[in-house]
Amino acid sequence: MKVIVSIIIFSLLFPLTIAGCSQSSNLEKIIQYPGAVADQEHNAKVLGFSLARVKREVTDDSYDDVLAYYKDVLESYNPEIVSYALEDGRQTAITVSSITIGIQEFKKEAKTAITFME
Domain count, the chain: 1
Q: Whole domain around residue 63: which residue ranges?
A: 2-117
Strands (E), the chain: 37-46, 49-59, 80-86, 89-96, 99-106, 111-117
Residues 6+ apart with CB under 8 A from 105: 62, 63, 86, 88, 89, 90, 91, 112
Q: Burial, 90: exposed, middle or buried (Cβ in 10 Å; 0-12, 13-18, 19+)?
A: middle
Per-residue pLDDT tens digits of the chain, which is 118 residues long:
555 555 555 554 444 333 334 444 455 565 789 889 888 666 666 677 666 678 889 999 999 999 999 999 999 999 999 999 988 899 999 999 888 999 999 999 999 999 988 7
